[in-house]
Structure 1
Amino acid sequence: SAIDALVNGNTRTLDVIRVQLMRDGKSVTRHSLLFVAAGFAAEVIRKTGPRVKRIFGRRFSYSVGFFRALASFRAPEFSVKWDSGEKAGRMFQVCAGNTEFAAGGVMRISPGARPDDGLLNISLVGALGQLGIVRRFPSILSGRYVEDDRVDYFASKRLEIDAVPPAELQADGDIIGTTPATVELLPGALRLVVHDQFQV
């Protein structure tokens, strides 16, 4: 119980993602625990509204949103910089993950990510056509998509994202604004009292 955790639990610290980006023409700062993504992941959120969630439930609603997003999404021209490199070009998705799973635990978006290691797990997915996206859907759910030769997957503490046209970003399932954006990790910024069986 919560009382047991307070009395007998352990203190754990978790990393927090800080994002500086644009919203309504102004620079704003937002925070996230799980992940931040620009590109297709934001379009999926746009297509996974309350009605879709109500009809299909948490387990299937994001899969429905995934296929609805296929019809409208066009990969932007991204410019991305991180601790040790940079890359530019059309990309399907840019993601910075603090934990492995997203979409209510359905999608393993950042394999191997831990919320207490002081690092973001970055995935840059090259531009894909609709058929290519559909063919890779199972691997996107399982996390094996990072093995694809069109995907760069690495760790960094900081990520700068720009795009033409400006790309929306989502954090933990909510649209939070648009590029340009700077994503940084705040190591150990959140302190929790947890049950002794708590795992990260």
Structure 2
Amino acid sequence: MTSDITVFVNPAAGRGRGARAAPVVTEALRDAGYEVTTVQGRDAATALDGARAAVAAGTGALISVGGDGMAGLALQAVAGTEVPVGLVAVGTGNDFARATGLPVRDPAAAAEAAVGALESGSTRAVDLGRAGDTYFGTVLASGFDSRVNDRGNRMSFPPGRFKYDAAIVAELASFRPIPYRMQLDDGPETEMEATLVAVGNGPSYGGGMRICHEARMDDGLFDITVVGPCSRRTLLRFFPRVYKGTHLTHPVVTVHRAKKVALTAPDVTGYADGEPLGPLPLTAECVPGAVRVLVP
């Protein structure tokens, strides 16, 4: 492995935690004898272009410093290549780092883990989901949760996470079960009503909501969690269980496992790793061992 390492930074991640973490990471790498290049862009597209250029030039590793959005961009750059990705997770959600057992909101520990993995050559092969040309590491969300995201993204007030709390309340007031069509692998298409359908390469989204609690990132399969039609009261009582994964035993929940899933539903946006993919219909496929993650 070359000693040239690329640090891929979102300075705005975690209300500035990315900017504060970057020097910690670069110093740890340089102290270990690595040549470090920093890549960041004025927007996601230019940042991704820079990361892909570094990968094409043969960087020894791409170290993402930021949240799930930055990790997602890093995955686009390294998927299907031999370049490993490291994660210094300092964002709001950090679900991909959490799922791979890496430190969260501890830049020094994450930098130490990355250096240790580089020195020992220790990596873990991890599956990714792919929808069209976009790879995702954790969950493709659709339904109630993605409509909350849609509404929250349109709101300018209140600030921060409070607007998503307000979006949940507003969406609950108008929510009705959604008519879905779902096809697993090459099986028959199923028509159903559902509150949401979550396609999990990893177990969690939204900063630890374990919607696909039993999903494994190295088995070549998705866990697909379907929450059937339910009342607003049931939904409010159901959602706190998602943080521990105990919702899977609720009678409105079914779980399927498949390598490929096609979803169709009206007026529903798909979100992968918290970023909008576009409106359904969408088809997602699990790509086994698509990326190597630096793990100590």
TM-score grouping bracket, smaller chain normalisation: 0.7 to 0.9
Distance (whole Å) between structure 2 residues aligned to residue 144 and residue 86 of structure 1: 28
Matching residue within 277, 283, 296 for 1:176: 277
In structure 1, stretches of 5+ residues that fail to align are 21-28, 196-200
Aligned length: 181
Given that 1:166 and 1:179 are in contact with CA atoms closer than 8 Å, whether structure 2 keeps it comes out as: yes
TM alignment of 1:24-35, pairs within 5 A = 29-35=133-139
TM-score by length of 2: 0.56
Q: Report the Cα distance in structure 1 between the residues aligned to 2:197 and 2:286, rounded to whole angstroms.
A: 16
- RMSD of aligned residue pairs (Cα, Å): 2.2
Q: Secondary structure at the match of 1:103?
A: coil
**Partner of residue 146, structure 2:** 42
CA contact (8 A) 1:43 1:73 kept: no
Contact 1:35 1:172 in 2 (8 A): yes
Instruction: Report the Cα distance in structure 2 between the residues aligned to 1:191 and 1:157, rounded to whole angstroms.
Output: 20
Identify if the C-alpha distance between structure 1 residues 90 and 55 changes in structure 2 by more than 3 Å, giving closer, same or farther: closer
State the partner residue of 1:130: 232
1:53-72 → structure 2 map (5 Å cutoff)? 54=160, 56=162, 65-72=167-174
Which of 162, 177, 180 aligns to 1:75? It is 177
1:153 alignment partner, SS class = strand
Paired letter, 2:126: L
Give the letter for the 1:32 counterpart. Answer: F
Shift of 1:156: 0.9
Question: What per-residue deviation string (whole Å, max 9, x for no partner) do you get for residues 142-169 of structure 1?
Answer: 3222212222112111101112x24211
Q: Is contact 1:45–1:174 with CA below 8 Å preserved after alignment? A: no
**How far is 1:51 from its partner?**
5.6
**Would you say the 8 A contact 1:19–1:184 is kept in 2?**
yes
Larger Rg: 2
Structure 2 residue runs without a partner (length 5+): 1-111
The CA distance in 1 between the partners of 2:254 and 2:140, in whole Å, is: 16
Judge conservation of contact 2:117–2:123 (CA < 8 Å) in 1.
Answer: no
Aligned identity (percent) is: 32
Alpha-carbon distance in 2 for matches of 1:168, 1:104: 20
| Greater share of residues in strand | 1
Q: Cα–Cα, structure 1 residues 88 and 178, in superposed 2: closer, same or farther, change >3 Å?
A: same
1:6 counterpart letter in structure 2: L
Match of residue 90 from structure 1: 193
Q: Give the drift of 1:53.
A: 6.2
